[in-house]
Amino acid sequence: MTQVPICDVTELPPGERKIVELEGKSIGIFNIDGTYYAASNTCPHRGGPVCTGRIGHELLADFVGVGLRVKEHFGPNLVLACPWHGWEFNLETGVHLGDSRISLPVYEVTIHDKTLFIEI
């Protein structure tokens, strides 16, 4: 594992993302409300640019009673959806929402002296 510098923190403000090439890998780095995430930009499904996809919250549903419409709502987990086919991954863990045996590599993001680093 090595710490690779990415950019100055000011270059990735909240709500922004950056796609970088590191050691031959395409990696996406995200700043979501001040929390940083990083994931492989290669979808394990068909190799799509998953880190260019939509970030939202996991859709959940509760069975609230026999004969009642299921209550749908968004949960706290952030999810990243590959734009090619919609495979969705937990942004923090990289685990596919529909099959825990599938996951997208994710990387730890750290800050040293106002510089963002990814551990790869």
Partner 1 sequence: MGKYKYRVVDSDAHYMEGLDQLVDYFPEPWKSRMIGSSGKDKASIAGIYPISTGDRSVFGRIQRDEFTEMQRNAGGFTPEIIPDVMEFLGVDAINMLSQKMLTFSRIKGDDPRATLLANAYTDYMLDKVVNPDEGIYTMAPLPFQEPKEAVELIDRVSHEKGIIGGCFATAGPEPPFGNRKYDPIYEAAEANNLPIVFHAGGGGIDEFVNAGYEKFIETHVLGFLMANQSQITSLVIQGIPEKFPNLKIVFQESGVFWIPLMMHRLDTEYLKRQSEAPLLTKKPSEYIKDMYFGIQPLEVPEDLSYLRQVIDMIGGTDRLLYASDYPHWDYDPPSAITDLSILSEDEKQRVLAGTAHEVFGI
Q: Which residues bind partner 1 (CB under 8 A)?
A: 45, 58-61, 63, 66-70, 72, 85-88, 96-99, 102
Q: What is the DSSP letter of 19?
A: E
The minimum distance between CB 99 and partner 1, in angstroms, equals: 6
The minimum distance between CB 19 and partner 1, in angstroms, equals: 23
Q: What is the DSSP letter of 85?
A: T
The tokens describing 45, both together, are: 């499904």
Beta bridge partners of 113: none
85: amino acid identity, one letter: H
Residue placing its CB nearer to partner 1 in the complex, 32 or 102 = 102
The minimum distance between CB 61 and partner 1, in angstroms, equals: 4
Residue placing its CB nearer to partner 1 in the complex, 35 or 100 = 100
Residue placing its CB nearer to partner 1 in the complex, 1 or 64 = 64
Q: How many Cα atoms sit within 13 Å of 10 on the Cβ side?
A: 1
CA 76 from chain centre, in angstroms, equals: 14
